[in-house]
Every structure is written in C-alpha cells, then in structure tokens.
Amino acid sequence: MPRGITLKTSSRAIGVGLAMLFGSMAGPALAQEPTLSEEAFDSSKQLYFERCAGCHGVLRKGATGKNLEPKWKKTAADGTVTEGGTLKLGQERLEKIIAWGTEGGMNNFSDVMTDDEIRDMATYIMMEAPKPPEMSLAQMMETRKVYVEPADYPSEPLHGRNWENFFVVIERDVGKVAVIDGDTKEVLAHIPTGYAVHVLKASEHHNITEPENPGRFWYTMGRDGKMTKIDLWQDPENMLVAEVTIGYDARDVAVSGDGKYVIGGAYWPPHFAIVDAETMEPKKVVSTRGVNVDGDYVEEARVAAIYTTPNEPTWIVAVKELGQLWQVDYTDLDNLRIDKINSAKFLHDGFFDPTGRYFQIAANASNKMVVVDTESHKLEAMIDTAALPHPGPGANWMDPNCGPVGGTTHLGEGTVTVWGNDPEGNPDNAWKVCYEVETDGAGLFIRTHPNSDYIWADQTKHPEPEIQQSVQVISKETGEIVETIQVTEDEGSVAVHFEFNQDGTEVWVSKWNRSDSKEPNGEIVIYDAKTLEEIGRVQGLFAPTGKFNVYNRSNHVT
C-alpha cells in the first residue's frame, strides 16, 4: 500500500560498499504505486542487501528464496501463463511473511528487524529493484591494499605457537575474523575483513603440486566483495597482510593447488576474478552470465561456491542460477579452459569424497545432491534428497552397511540424508541413499572427523528457539540420534556450525547471537568428542559463526 511520499533521485552516499553497489537510484514515483521517503528507501536498500539478497537475488528474481519482483509472469511448456508478484501479495501479507518466516525455510526476522524496518521492507520489495553497476579489473586494482610486503614475510612463525591447531573464526556481524589458539583456547586476534565474511579458505595439500606451507595463508571473502589475505605466521597484530575487492556482493574464495592464484566468486557482478596469491593483484575476470539448464538466459547467474580440486589443476565454480558446475583450469590464464557441466538448480555448498575425485554439491531448489567426476570433468550422478539440501562443509564417514558415505542436512525439513560415495569399492551403493535420519528441525551444517564415532547436525532453521539452540549427535554405527545437546538458552541466540580440533578429540560449536551488537555477544562451546560433555568455552567473540581448523581444512579432513 502507498506510504505517501514520492521518492526523488538521491545523491546521498550510504557508505562506500552500498553506494558503489546500488548508486542512489530512486524507486517508482507514480501516486498509485508504493513509495518510500528517501531515507526509508536507502535504509531498506541496505538492509535488503545485508539480509535478503543472498536468497532472493540483487535483482529479486529469486533462487533458493522466491521471486520478489513487484510483478512477474511465467509461461509453462504447455503455454500456461502464471502471474504473480509482491504487489499482488500486498503490504499486510508481506509484513507477516517477513516477521514470522515460512515453513519452506525462510527465517523469521521479528527478532532481527524492528517493526518499522519490516514495514518499510514490505514496501521496498513492492518497488522496482535498482540495478547495480559492473566492476572492471582496473576498478578492482584501485581497491588493493598491501599492509605487509611479501618480501617482509617471516621465514618461520613469530609467535612460537602450534599454528596448525589454530581456529579461524568468522565474526559475521562486525566484519572480522578471530584467530584462536586451539591448544590454549586464547583469542589471539580480531582481524578486520569484509562485511559478513561467508567463507575462509587456506592453501591446501594437493596431490599434483604442493604449495609451500599449506594452511599458512588464509583468504576471506566478505559479502561486500572484499578478499583479505591472512598470514598465521605473523604476530597477531600483523596477520592481515593484504586485501582487494573483486565485487560488490560475493560469497566464496579458493586457492589454486600450487598456491599461486586465488579465485573469488561474486554474486554481483555475476563473475569470478583470479588474483595473484602473493601480491593480491587481480589478473583476470570472467562473467558467469549465460544460458541455464532450462535453456533460458540468466543475467544474474551468481557464483555460489568455489573449490580447489585435490587431484586436478582446476577449480570447481558453482554457478547457482545456471545449474552448472564450471571446471576451470588455472594452468594458463591467457587461454583459460572452462568445462561447463550441466546439473540442476540452485547450486550452493559442497564437498569432496575421501578420494578427492568426486565433488558432491547441493542443488537446493531441485532437492538433489549433484556429483561431478573431476577426473573426467563430467556429471557422475544426481541423488534425490529431502527438501533443500545444505551440507555446508559436508561430512564423510564409514557406514557398517553401505561402506563409505556422505551426508547432508536440509534447509527445508529436519532430515539428514546419507548416500554411498565409493563407486570403486562399493559400486552397488554408490550414489544411492543409504538411509535418512529424522531430526527435530531443519539445519545448515553437518560435520564429523575420522577419529570420531559421531556425526553432528545443527537445527538452526527451525522456528522454535529451543530447537534452534540445540544440536543432535548421530551414531555412525547405528545411524540413530544418541544425544540432543542444548548448547544455549539465551534469548536471540542459536547453535550453529561445527569444527573438530586437529586430532578430533574436541568439537567446537558456535553460540551465535543474531543481534548486531558492537560488544562481544557470542561464544564457542567446546565438547569432548567421545563423552559429548562440555569441557570449555571461548568467550569475548562477536557473533561467531563458521570455524575452520587449520590442519583439518588444509588436509581435507571431513
């Protein structure tokens, strides 16, 4: 419904990231259309970028989340035309959806947004979406900053600590990454990075060429497109050594197997950029716009995830809206070879099988796990799952009946799906569902360790706080839930994401507070991996989410 004030074109910047991303574009000004004041429009635009664009898209055409264009029209193969849009839903209904979420997996935002923000957001998404600009290599180069020159990098760790058991922890809402000593549980640093870092990746052990000191250098990717380089051998106050921005909205990063290049994938502009790993100088940018698996041209074809293949000199780039996995050979940047592998929509998180040959990734909207053979560069299989699979960093383990298996949680329902992933040793079970586990609620992450008897699954997507705040532990031997652990009971907090320490004796779980507090408001709860009892807490953290153990991540321990 109309809000009364006709919007005029704005020239006011709302912060470098959002001003660059959207400019200061006005919404529709016709009297019969929804309108917002300039201040409310700018505020809603930023909030949409922070909270909504990841699922619904910058242009609001939808992906994991629904299409949020004011008006849309779809024509089916039989010629049937369906029309819809946010204008058809109307102000009141949109406010209720934003506030209370949906059973299909959308979060409730009643404890994140104020009533005024919810009201303005409902109006904002009934207005036409502003289209952001592009970003060139020259523009990327202008954002590059070097804090420590490569020539000044130390030849050995300056702090004398067991850096391979460090944990690198995302402090999402303050745009920082914490470094924690896994032996002493000390927080060594809070490193300023991009806004809402989504993923961190390190140089990894590789079966073809080995980078020097795998796990020493970590690269972050913020949702504002900023990529930072962290050197864990430095003294804590100097660990941030360089940064560069490769887009306005981004999600993932990966390091080449030889340690020479870093690739960053953007949501907007829809492209990936290849950067020199030592100097952080941008070297190449490649658009991911294209024709999807349905034969439709997609402008907002976003890079959802990027992974380094352990056995090949390539990256796997998941182009979300296209339903394609691009296997990119980094050995010749001037003549870049890209094999485009059709699969299913909408691609998101994935992980490798224990051999490193097969890549397993969720196609959320298709309710499938997609498997690619990175040796042949071809689609291997597609596995039907429950609603909206989301494995996060995934989990592999040995099942007594099916042999080697992988598993995923789901955004859409409380289920863990387990499938066989050993086509050579157990061909009868390969890429078939072995069993499913019914959990109390939908979740985001699943994790285990070769030295553990258990698989851990969170339930962050369930609407009830008590279930959001608990995690469930599943026996590898029986496939049954053996323990439900109440990690937190604090209002506004949830239990999310798991990581084991280097030897697999501890499990670290984040207590994440969804508020935007500028004071430490979260902690990591540590459990004995065998007895499942709490053995410690790391406090003084800002909304900790993902945690990455240096040894486990650089050695492909899942």
pLDDT of residue 101: 85
Evaluate if residue 55 carries a pLDDT over 90: no
Higher pLDDT, 134 or 107: 134
Q: How far apart are CA 408 and CA 445, in angstroms?
A: 8
pLDDT of residue 227: 98
Q: How far apart are CA 349 and CA 378, in angstroms?
A: 18
- Can you state the angle between helices 38-51 and 115-124, rounded to 10 degrees? 90
Residue 77 lies in a domain: yes
Evaluate if residue 367 carries a pLDDT over 80: yes
Residues with Cβ within 8 Å of 504's Cβ and at least 6 positions away in sequence, in order, are: 449, 450, 451, 452, 529
Token pair, residue 530, equals 């065998």
pLDDT, tens digit (0-9, with 9 covering 90-100), for 242-263: 999 999 999 999 999 999 999 9
Higher pLDDT, 168 or 44: 168
Residue 558 lies in a domain: no
Mean pLDDT of the chain: 91
Q: Label residue 235 by pLDDT band (50, 70, 90).
A: very high
Q: How far apart are CA 117 and CA 129, in angstroms?
A: 17
The CA distances from residue 387 to 22, 341, 363, 384, 549, in Å, are 33, 23, 10, 9, 30
With beta carbons less than 8 A apart as the criterion, state whether 247 and 269 touch: yes
- Provide mean pLDDT across the span 110-125: 91
Nearest C-alpha neighbor of 243 from the set 255, 257, 225, 260: 225
SS3 for 81?
Answer: strand
Residue 89 lies in a domain: yes
Q: How far apart are CA 485 and CA 509, in angstroms?
A: 11
Evaluate if residue 10 carries a pLDDT over 90: no
- Provide mean pLDDT across the span 76-80: 81
Evaluate if residue 29 carries a pLDDT over 70: no
pLDDT of residue 6: 29
pLDDT of residue 17: 42
Catalytic residues: 52, 55-56, 106, 348, 390
Fill in the amino acid letter for 501: N
Residue 172 lies in a domain: no
Residue 166 lies in a domain: no
- Provide mean pLDDT across the span 225-238: 97
pLDDT of residue 458: 98
pLDDT of residue 2: 32
Residues with Cβ within 8 Å of 167's Cβ and at least 6 positions away in sequence, in order, are: 179, 180, 182, 499, 501, 508, 547, 548, 549, 550
Evaluate if residue 369 carries a pLDDT over 70: yes
| Percentage of the chain exceeding pLDDT 90 | 79
Q: Label residue 31 by pLDDT band (50, 70, 90).
A: very low
pLDDT of residue 318: 98
Hey, how many other C-beta atoms are within 10 angstroms of the C-beta on 228? Answer: 27
How many domains, in total, are found in the chain? Answer: 1
Nearest C-alpha neighbor of 464 from the set 489, 485, 482, 447: 489
Residue 44 lies in a domain: yes
**pLDDT-wise least confident of 207-211, 312-316, 395-399, 549-553:** 207-211
pLDDT of residue 49: 80
Q: How far apart are CA 361 and CA 370, in angstroms?
A: 5
With beta carbons less than 8 A apart as the criterion, state whether 255 and 211 touch: yes
pLDDT of residue 32: 61
Q: How far apart are CA 269 and CA 439, in angstroms?
A: 38
Q: Label residue 108 by pLDDT band (50, 70, 90).
A: confident
SS3 for 317?
Answer: strand
pLDDT, tens digit (0-9, with 9 covering 90-100), for 119-133: 999 999 999 988 889
Q: How far apart are CA 504 and CA 5, in angstroms?
A: 59
pLDDT, tens digit (0-9, with 9 covering 90-100), for 449-469: 999 999 999 999 998 999 999
| Percentage of the chain exceeding pLDDT 70 | 93
**At 37, which CATH number?**
1.10.760.10
Structural domain of 38: 16-124
Residue 112 lies in a domain: yes
- Provide mean pLDDT across the span 472-493: 96
Q: Label residue 435 by pLDDT band (50, 70, 90).
A: very high
Residue 97 lies in a domain: yes
Q: Label residue 25 by pLDDT band (50, 70, 90).
A: very low
Highest mean pLDDT among 5-19, 105-119, 410-424: 410-424
